[in-house]
Amino acid sequence: MTGLSAKGAATRARLVEGASELMRAEGVVNTTLDDVLARTGTSKGQLFHYFPGGREELLLAIAELEAARVLSDQEPHLSRLDSWPAWDAWRHAVVSRYKAQGPDCPLHALMVQVNVSSPGSHAVIIELMRAWEQALRDGIETMQATGQIDRSHNPAAAAKAIVAVIQGGVQVLMATGDAQHLETALDLTLAGLKTPPEPRAGHHSGGRQGLPR
């Protein structure tokens, strides 16, 4: 919300933080608005003042907070991807985060509860993907500038691929409790950045068809 006083913004933030902690502990489905009021020491009038749409609007605000945590949990490594040891540290942070989370993903649970067709829910996920991919792309471009990643790699495409394999691995982890798929897929994708892509069949420098020797 815009136009809030400092006190109002603090009250709203307390509601979101408190509700988020409660839902992490008890689960989204099991948490009621009365639980949130008791946890945060706020009145029903205050809650509906800051969240006129009620539970769904509050859930969306918590989803925004959880989406921001996806990225903040990867720091300071995500913003410093300027060497292979730095990438290894980031990889460890990502895998450790999702191992600790296990099969219960707060963001996923929240987005299931929020109306998935609403512009707000789409905006939360789109902004998370945009920011995540941009940070990875910046890291790849930094590595290319210092000669640590070959310039033949497309930074934007590589960043999308990394996010995709993480999300796929996390889905398997949520279903099975096994993080090996996440680790293997991420390791293979990062290994691919360490070597130039293989030339496509029939492609030769200068555009000529080479003769067999």
Q: What is the pLDDT of residues 102-129, one digit of tens each?
A: 777 777 777 767 765 677 788 888 899 9
pLDDT at 59 over 50: yes
30/125 same-domain check? no
74/22 same-domain check? no
69/161 same-domain check? yes
132/31 same-domain check? no
75/154 same-domain check? yes
Count of structural domains, the chain: 2
90/170 same-domain check? yes
Residue 208, pLDDT score: 40
Residue 113 lies in a domain: yes
CB atoms within 10 A of CB 67: 22
Least confident residue range of 33-42, 61-70, 111-120, 178-187: 111-120
pLDDT at 143 over 90: yes
CA dist 84 and 188 (Å) reads 14
Residue 198 lies in a domain: no
109/14 same-domain check? no
Residue 87, pLDDT score: 98
Residue 212, pLDDT score: 33
Residue 31, pLDDT score: 87
Residue 148 lies in a domain: yes
Residue 202, pLDDT score: 55
Residue 16 lies in a domain: yes
Could you tell me what percent of the chain has a pLDDT over 70?
88
CA dist 73 and 94 (Å) reads 8
Which is nearest to 72 in space by CA: 12, 135, 159? 135
Query: 17: domain CATH number?
Result: 1.10.10
Query: In whole numbers, what is the pLDDT of the chain averaged over residues?
Result: 87
pLDDT at 76 over 70: yes
38/83 same-domain check? no
Residue 211 lies in a domain: no
Q: Helix/strand/coil (H, E, C) string of 23-82? A: HHHHCCCCCCHHHHHHHHCCCHHHHHHHCCCCHHHHHHHHHHHHHHHHHHCCCCCCCCCC
Domain assignment of residue 117, given as a range: 64-193
In terms of phi and psi (left: phi > 0; alpha: psi -120 to 50; beta: otherwise), the region of 22 is: alpha
pLDDT at 80 over 80: yes
Residue 119 lies in a domain: yes
What's the longest Cα–Cα distance across the chain?
Answer: 82
- Provide mean pLDDT across the span 72-90: 97
Residue 1 lies in a domain: no
Residue 57 lies in a domain: no
Contact 75, 55 (CB under 8 A): no
Confidence class for position 211, pLDDT limits 50, 70, 90: very low
